[in-house]
Chain A
Amino acid sequence: MKSAPFEHHEPTTVDEAVSLLESLDGPTILSGGQSLVPMLRFRLANPDVVVDINGIDSLDYLHEEDGYLRIGALARHADVEDSSLIDETYGSFADVAPLVADPQVRNRGTVVGSVAQADPKGDWGSILLAHDGEVIARGPDGERTIPADEFFLLPYDTTLDDTELITEVRVPTPAPREGSAYHKLKRKTGDYAMAGVAARLVLDDDDVIETARLGMTAVDITNARATDAEAHLEGERPSSELFEEAGGLAAEESNPESDEHGDAGYKERMVDVLAQRALGDAAERAGLVKRRVSQ
């Protein structure tokens, strides 16, 4: 990696990091480096100053607390993959963690870094959207909580201020009858998604869908929710028919572009497929018994 020269700062506390962000000219934050380092290597990013947060030990956590699953800024993808907390209860987390890039990237890359990068092909944004997640940011004026819904603006652009550091992303701990899942289509291990869909369902005591969320990857200018599909699902009992309708609506709501991963029409169709698959798994994880119809 032959980057252009840059100044390297290593704060050990959040306060120190935030004051560096405020005082330095155009700083770039380095956490896992899985997006930044390739950009430095290609010299697509030529920052004068890099604030390396890897020394802030207080940000290295993944735990449940006060009704949230909290993921600190230094938790790696592999930490999610390996955590005993992440099981069927957090179905979409269990699904996505082993699907992010490859083991080398997962060992270094962080969940928060991926969210901050705001690449529409990133997986974690869809998970946050599907789980009504929040982004916790610290800036010169203190701490701010940004709902995931209000975080993503454009490719690589968010509502985060230049002087703010994301310290945590969090999602509410699952309701008793909640299930979630993530399905991703990719050409190979390590490749970005051709398309991906996260689904979350909460059922009431009569097996009626109380809350439905769908987060989509790589099919719009940001990770995006499929709100029409969500509205269609809520108030209904899960069924193949319902999920087919929801898949179709999600596909209509997506706005993919043709690229090396396939043409737009194909990707829309895949949103339909992946949404149905994710909804099926989510319903099962919410406690329903799913039986495959024999072929």
Chain B
Amino acid sequence: MSSDHENAPEADTEYQHAEDDGPQPEKHCGHGRGGMGEEVSRKEDKRFITGRGNYVDDIKKPDMLHCEIVRSPHAHARVKDIDGSRAEAMDDVVAVLTAEDLLEHDLATMPTLMDDTQDVLVNEKVKFQSQEVAAVIATDRYTAKDGAEKVEVDYEVLDPVVDAQDALDAEAPLIRDELDDQEDNHIFDWETGDKDATEAVFDAADVTIEEDMNYQRLHPAPIETCGAVADWDPGMDKMTVHMTSQAPHAHRTLFSQVSGIPEHKVRIVSPDVGGGFGNKVPIYPGYVVAAAASFVLEQPVKWVEERSENIQSTGFARDYDMTGELAATEDGVIEGVKVDVLANHGAYNAAAQPTKFPAGFFNIFTGSYDIEAAYGSLTAAFTNTAPGGVAYRCSFRVTEAVYLIERLVNVLADELDVDPAEIRRRNFIPSDAFPYESATGWNYDSGDYEKALDKALEMADYEHYREEQQRRIENDADKLLGIGISSFTEIVGAGPGEQCDIAGIEMFDSADIRVNPTGNAVLRIGVQTQGQGHETTFAQIVAEELGMDVDNISVEHGDTDTEPYGLGTYGSRSTPVAGAATAVAARKVRDKAKSIAANELEAAEEDIEWDRESGEFHVAGAPDRSITITEIAAGAYMNHPGGEEPGLEATNYYDPPEMTYPFGSYIVVVEVDRETGEVDFEKFVAVDDCGNRINPMIIEGQIHGGLAQGIATAMLEEVTYDDNGNVTGGDFMNYLLPTANEIPNFDTGHTVTPSPHHPIGAKGVGESPTVGSPPAIVNAVVDAMNHAGVSHVEMPMTPDVVWAALDDAGLAHKPAQNVEFEFDGASGSADD
């Protein structure tokens, strides 16, 4: 895809870094002022580490009330009656709200991001366990919870359907019977690519392979659950909502649309947010209930989820049942890829993604490979499970796509008995083929996949482990070795606005820079950090572009009253979009600074040059006649050139011309215990290429966190349901988050292939490791067993799952100690 855009400046690649991974910190650029490429300590860490963060639950207001939500114990049930009288009779309970109360204010339903309509509080029928049925408002949170226990709900329990395949059965219970034209649980069919061309390639191919794989239901599980403090001010006719939002501006627009309160009378503030990972992109009933309660009661109302409420009712991720096929020559050149998916969307179609992409960017499933023909089809179904389909630390469904293609490539390698590194090499999009248009229509900006793979192979000591693997097979050792590779390509940085929108709003982003008279600056951005370090990296962009010290720049975000409109932070879009806006706005400031410099230096503007190294402006040919941005700032306010506006400020709304395509190669070496099925990580190499790098330390942190989440995906996490629709993986005793003990040491490296269309050549990185690592890990575990015919192991690969695969392949070792005991003086029995 492509779009013409006046806003796409020439990429400025002059800060491309050297690519050494040596221990010495990078100081190639940044010029010592904390600009591009410097490992600046995070500005936000002081308040986080010293416990001075300000999260939603830290916000207290006078006369604030507390909201507790009554949730359904059933997955599918008709609500016959709700009796809140026992709760209302309690001393400190202020109100019990039901759908009936919300109907009076026209707030009974809310739109999802995919234009479905979800009950705020259940009107007639419960569609998933833990769905919101009523709300109790009390003077403290303990009483609210006590009151919620006293609300009596009379349910007529209905048969639930939990599995997507079962839901499409003609006999399945109809979940969405309130919709006029809905006669079954089918939501939509979607297809991509060229079916006929792909079939033709498959018909003629030397080799075809096929593999079924499930990408299990995950929950982003941010450490801070969702919550809001809503405060209706009847004097100002204004609604202020502090909420856990990854997209405060878009949420304000939606809030205004849902509530009928004019947008300029709605203020959304996203204060410090304790992790989002896509979970805080959708609107949830709790937010609306808190706002409705505040409006009705004219007092501030706080609602904060408990952990199990967060896991059981808010946006999940993945839940794709996939069948993938490859067609290839006998030399392992991939000619075609075919995919069929069954998607479980839960009780509402509430995926969080650009509205024109019902399956997100799943059609990036050709991955890093030059494949002639591709075809994908997908069917989405309603089930009696929580709604979702959020992008958990990934661009919309790219994680599923990368998992699919990276697993299929390994299956093909096994089939042809070609080394998995070699088969990737044979199929990579060549580095000189960019910009590259894929068979499903994506326009890759830049890449050098072989370079990243080569680097990873070298760092991993690949040949050594291959030999060791063989040695262990020959010795029938108790621990098998597996080596897995993933050479993934991400797609991040949505827009362009022409293709991508959230609820109709184009996915641009924004930055506003004001340089103060004393020479420091405030940058306001339309994206919202949840821990990514925006307050540091975005300041570094300004430091670089204006020659300022990074300490003299503060970054503000998250308040719709003061920040420029933006679409928020998810899909690794902050640096690709708002980072671009920041660079462009800074350059606008620099342009204006030039005219002030000319005035101050009494020279013609065309004779003024900016020196990136010193960060100063000087007269051409006379470097001594120079001026700093601090001096220029003073001039802008105290001695501004006649005929020009005073002040030194610029805004940019940036609509990216294209997405960016970060990539990398990960290599994972595992040991598989043939007695227990336990998997240990021997080596974990991650080479990432996110284009030009702003703060290598923050990137490193992002990579570590994302790899941990990838390991969690591959090894531990799954939201599970029983046949009755009860969530059986709905708390941290059953939804298994890894601890530091489960996370190995990582060897990270990088290559630098700048984005040609991004103003600073950056691509975005936060999600690459979560996207790229699960297939590397599964490939490694399968690789340990594929000499015995194992072609796939489903995630999460807990010991019992791996042991079952070992057992099926005849690889499980009967337990034995393989030891001898020595007794006093004499050697004892010698078994084995």
Binding site for B on A (CB under 8 A): 2-5, 38, 42-43, 102, 185, 187-191, 194, 207, 237-241, 243-244, 247, 260-263, 266, 269-270, 272-273, 276-277, 279-280, 283-284, 288-293, 295
Contact = CB atoms under 8 A, between A and B. Distances in A.
B817 A187 contact: no
28 contacts: A3-B142, A5-B142, A43-B149, A187-B716, A191-B736, A207-B828, A237-B828, A238-B821, A239-B821, A240-B816, A240-B818, A244-B815, A244-B816, A244-B831, A261-B800, A262-B799, A266-B677, A266-B804, A270-B676, A276-B815, A283-B821, A284-B821, A290-B822, A291-B821, A291-B822, A292-B819, A293-B818, A293-B819
Contact of B823 (A38, A189, A207): A207
B819 A280 contact: yes
Interface string B59-81: 00000000010000000000000
A43 B308 CA distance: 13
A263 B801 CA distance: 10
Contact of A288 (B675, B823, B831): B823
Given A5-B146, A262-B799, A240 B820 contact: yes
B475 A262 contact: no
Contacts of A247: 815
A273 B815 CA distance: 5
Interface residues of B, number: 48
Contacts of A293: 818-820, 831-832
Contacts of A187: 716, 736, 798-799
Contacts of B197: none
Contacts of B141: 2
Contacts of B739: 102, 188-190
Contacts of B728: 260
Given A238-B821, A288-B822, A292-B819, A194 B736 contact: no
B804 A290 contact: no
Contacts of B815: 244, 247, 269, 272-273, 276-277
Contacts of B476: 295
Contact of B742 (A5, A43, A189, A291): A189
A237 B817 CA distance: 15
A263 B822 CA distance: 37
Contacts, number: 123
Which 4 A-B pairs give the minimum distances between C-beta atoms?
Answer: A262-B800, A239-B829, A240-B831, A273-B815
A266 B805 CA distance: 12
Contacts of B678: 185
B734 interface: yes
A192 to B, nearest CB: 8
A194 B822 CA distance: 32
Contacts of B261: none
B103 interface: no
A280 B818 CA distance: 10
B716 A291 contact: no
A104 to B, nearest CB: 10
Contacts of B816: 240, 244, 276
Contacts of A263: 800
A47 B262 CA distance: 49
Given A240-B816, A293-B819, A188 B142 contact: no
A240 B716 contact: no
B478 interface: yes
A179 to B, nearest CB: 11
A185 B824 contact: no
Interface string B120-160: 00000000000000000000011001100100000000000
B362 interface: no
Interface string B208-249: 000000000000000000000000000000000000000000
B129 to A, nearest CB: 15
Q: Could you say which of B476, B800, B828, B831 has the most chain A C-beta atoms within 10 Å of its C-beta?
A: B800
B478 to A, nearest CB: 6
A2 B142 contact: yes
Interface in B715-752: 716, 720, 728-729, 733-734, 736-739, 741-742
Contacts of A279: 817
Contacts of B798: 187, 262
Contacts of A43: 149
B666 interface: no
A269 B149 CA distance: 44
B803 interface: yes
B82 interface: no
Contact of B741 (A189, A270, A272, A280): A189
B788 interface: no
A241 B829 CA distance: 9
A207 B819 contact: no
A5 B475 CA distance: 63
B477 interface: yes
Contacts of B477: 295
A194 B800 contact: yes
Contacts of B818: 240, 292-293, 295
B146 A240 contact: no
B430 to A, nearest CB: 42
Nearest to B475: A295
A261 B829 CA distance: 36
Interface in B345-368: none
A117 B799 CA distance: 27
Interface in B443-479: 472, 475-478
Given A5-B142, A189-B741, A277-B817, 8 more contacts: A102-B739, A237-B829, A240-B821, A244-B815, A244-B816, A262-B803, A291-B819, A293-B820
A194 B829 contact: no
Nearest to B728: A260
A227 B450 CA distance: 60
A194 B803 CA distance: 13
A32 B142 CA distance: 22
B676 to A, nearest CB: 6
Contacts of A207: 823-824, 828
Contacts of A238: 821, 828
Interface string B244-262: 0000000000000000000
Contacts of B734: 260
A189 to B, nearest CB: 4
A240 B829 contact: yes
B472 to A, nearest CB: 8
Contacts of B737: 188
B774 to A, nearest CB: 17
A210 B814 CA distance: 27
Interface string B658-669: 000000000000
A241 B815 CA distance: 11
Given A263-B800, A291-B822, A4 B149 contact: yes
A289 B741 CA distance: 30
Interface string B323-361: 000000000000000000000000000000000000000
A27 B68 CA distance: 28
Contact of A188 (B738, B817, B829): B738
Contacts of A102: 739
Contact of A2 (B145, B475, B676, B822): B145
Contacts of B804: 266
A247 B308 CA distance: 39
Contacts of B472: 295
A258 B678 CA distance: 18
B742 A188 contact: yes
A128 to B, nearest CB: 24
Given A189-B739, A273-B676, A266 B803 contact: yes
A188 B741 CA distance: 8
Contacts of B306: 2
A38 B308 CA distance: 12
A207 B799 CA distance: 36
A209 B202 CA distance: 67
B162 to A, nearest CB: 16
Among B477, B738, B819, residue most surrounded by chain A Cβ atoms (within 10 Å): B819
A123 B408 CA distance: 42
